[in-house]
Chain A
């Protein structure tokens, strides 16, 4: 393996683990598609940061993307809670309009700047193979921060994810915990964007978490399994992409995650389809032999 492949592998695995863990909260809070909305809403921040910073410094671009996501989420909240618009419509509207604004600004940058703007668009499709060591450090840093936040707020997060009604009755501000989850998700999306692109980073926050949900009923193990699935999918995607011609890593990562999802849905011990079917058959058998009380 070349040095470059190792860098890409390390960065992708870290990103996968981060998105898996953070995405678990979104999935449990029934906001699975929020990562997708955020990934699209981040776009206007990139050209704006480029214009303000006068260049393509990665930290500036990521800050711009984060600010843009925050703006989009504010718009979403305003539409959702201050008007008659429902969740789904507010999400779709913010996603598409912010993306439109992003494209308008990108075109503007292409018009006014004398150069150096090339590659801003790579945030849309992602450029996994172009990862450098500093990307890995940034991802690692963000992952550590998220891990710290999750550890500190673990009790509150768990309560809100599994029983928001009870959480509210204990005096916990559910809104603030949701805000925290939104923030964590935004961080993961922002570092993921330049690596795998808009749709693939959304997929990474959803698929590993949904797959992990089949294996366990408690939050701790779910976070662990989702992280492992995320990392595994990224590793598989990167390795296959490196060994084959004309096989982009982004889609391969998603397809690897899909394989993990299908395996989980079929073979997970309690909630898997096979286990469910077996339980049902056993029950039927017992019923026929009269071993069941009516």
Chain B
């Protein structure tokens, strides 16, 4: 791997990591679209700070971005609360207007501003490794001068305030009770989103930064419910899609930032399918398994009813003896018989309950009982039995089998 490839991937990964760490909080707090809003509305902040300080050094840029990010969130919230408009509507109004303002400013002051709308939109990841300056004798891409502080700032702030932000994400009410000042933390987080967004502009551009903010967090959130694991997986997805995106883009000669966004999207799709915590595949397997169980249980219960009709169970079953044999020659093992008795007992108890306590007609209770019999456990059956004063027969006059002791 030559140096240019290496540095490009390092820049991409630094940027994705910073985005992913902030993004986890956005996704947990269900305010992901704020990422979209801020990535558009930092534009005027950037332009104004450039016009004021006349430099593209990181800190003035961060300042402009943070102010714009705070303005977006503040305006969104105040317009919503002052006018009764919905929060998403007021967010839509605020960020599009700020973006329009930014575009207008760029066009008016194009000569003073070294900002290319295309660059802001797509980023220039392909070229960052060419624009270097020596640090401690190593040629380091200039983009890292912005991204490394942004990553460090994100890491430090999120470690320092992890307790506060965590409580806020999962229980805003508790956060207020504990005296955490949720509003201050919320605005702090939004300022951080703005800073990270601006730092990433040069590398991946304004729209694709949204993919790097939200995508890794979505994938991680699909994969686990534990927040530490979530951070680990989000970091992994961020770095993984940077590497994969870069490799694919070089192989097909297309936009690196675009390919990274695609890679993140694919990662989310894969997580949705293969996640061990509620992925499509896992749910399908579970569904199949429970379908098979229910079919087997229905078969057993019907076998029992057949035995009952032929009179075998009344002779043997109640005395705890094991009945073997079935009308058409199949055999029921002792285990099968026990399970069947549990099912039929549950079925008939539910029928009795529905008729006696709920007051439904005996003709209409079979379907409900047929569904419920698969879900009842021993405790619930015992409770039903006690509740109904240990009935002997169900509403249709069939005997309710006694719960086998083993």
Contact = CB atoms under 8 A, between A and B. Distances in A.
A36 B265 CA distance: 18
A93 B265 contact: yes
Contacts of A247: 104, 107-108
Interface in A83-123: 83-108, 111, 121
Given A206-B96, A207-B93, A248-B103, A36 B36 contact: yes
Contact of A100 (B97, B107, B208, B218): B208
> Which DSSP category, helix, strand, loop or mixed, fits chain B's interface?
helix
B279 to A, nearest CB: 8
A214 interface: yes
A265 interface: yes
A83 B219 CA distance: 11
Contact of A95 (B36, B100, B118, B258): B36
Interface stretch (A185-193, A197-205, A223-231, A279-287): A197-205
A104 B257 CA distance: 8
Contacts of B104: 247-248, 251-252, 255
Interface string A211-248: 00110000000000000000000000000000000111
A159 interface: no
Given A32-B88, A89-B214, A104 B103 contact: no
A289 B31 CA distance: 46
A162 interface: no
A247 to B, nearest CB: 7
A202 B222 contact: no
Interface string B205-235: 0011111011101100110000000000000
Contact of B218 (A32, A93, A99, A207): A93
Interface in A239-288: 246-248, 250-252, 254-255, 257-258, 261, 265, 271, 273
Given A91-B33, A210-B85, A85 B280 contact: no
B354 interface: no
A103 B272 contact: no
Contacts of A254: 96-97, 99-100
A89 B32 contact: yes
B222 to A, nearest CB: 6
Contact of B88 (A30, A93, A271): A30
B144 interface: no
A103 B88 contact: no
Given A32-B86, A89-B32, A92-B33, 8 more contacts: A27-B86, A86-B27, A96-B210, A96-B264, A101-B261, A206-B92, A214-B83, A254-B96
A92 B208 contact: no
B48 to A, nearest CB: 15
A79 B82 CA distance: 33
B183 interface: no
A104 B258 contact: yes
Contacts of A255: 97, 100-101, 104
Interface string B240-279: 0000000001001111011111101100100010010011
Interface string B96-126: 1101110110011010000001100110000
B262 A101 contact: yes
10 contacts: A32-B88, A83-B278, A83-B280, A96-B209, A97-B262, A104-B255, A199-B96, A199-B100, A200-B100, A202-B92
Contact of B208 (A103, A111, A261, A265): A103
Interface of A: 27, 30-33, 35-36, 40, 78-79, 82-108, 111, 121, 124-125, 199-200, 202-203, 206-207, 209-210, 213-214, 246-248, 250-252, 254-255, 257-258, 261, 265, 271, 273
A83 B89 contact: no
A251 B103 contact: yes
* Most chain A CB inside 10 Å of its own CB: which residue of B79, B89, B101, B110: B89
B91 interface: yes
Contacts of B258: 99-104, 107
B244 to A, nearest CB: 13
Contacts of A214: 83
Contacts of A78: 272
B292 to A, nearest CB: 22
B401 interface: no
B79 A96 contact: no
Nearest to A252: B104
Contact of A203 (B32, B96, B213, B279): B96
B321 to A, nearest CB: 50
Given A246-B108, A265-B83, A210 B259 contact: no
4 nearest A-B residue pairs (beta carbon): A100-B261, A97-B265, A203-B96, A96-B211
Given A89-B217, A100-B259, A247-B107, A79 B272 contact: yes
A25 B80 CA distance: 18
Contacts of A97: 211, 215, 261-262, 264-265, 268
Given A83-B272, A102-B258, A104-B255, A36 B30 contact: no
A103 B217 contact: no
A209 B96 CA distance: 14
B90 interface: yes
Given A85-B272, A107-B255, A261 B103 contact: no
Contacts of A207: 92-93, 96-97
B103 A213 contact: no
A224 B383 CA distance: 62
A96 B215 contact: yes
B221 A84 contact: yes
B35 interface: yes
B17 to A, nearest CB: 17
Contacts of A30: 86, 88-89
Contacts of A258: 93, 97, 100
Contacts of A83: 222, 272, 275, 278-280
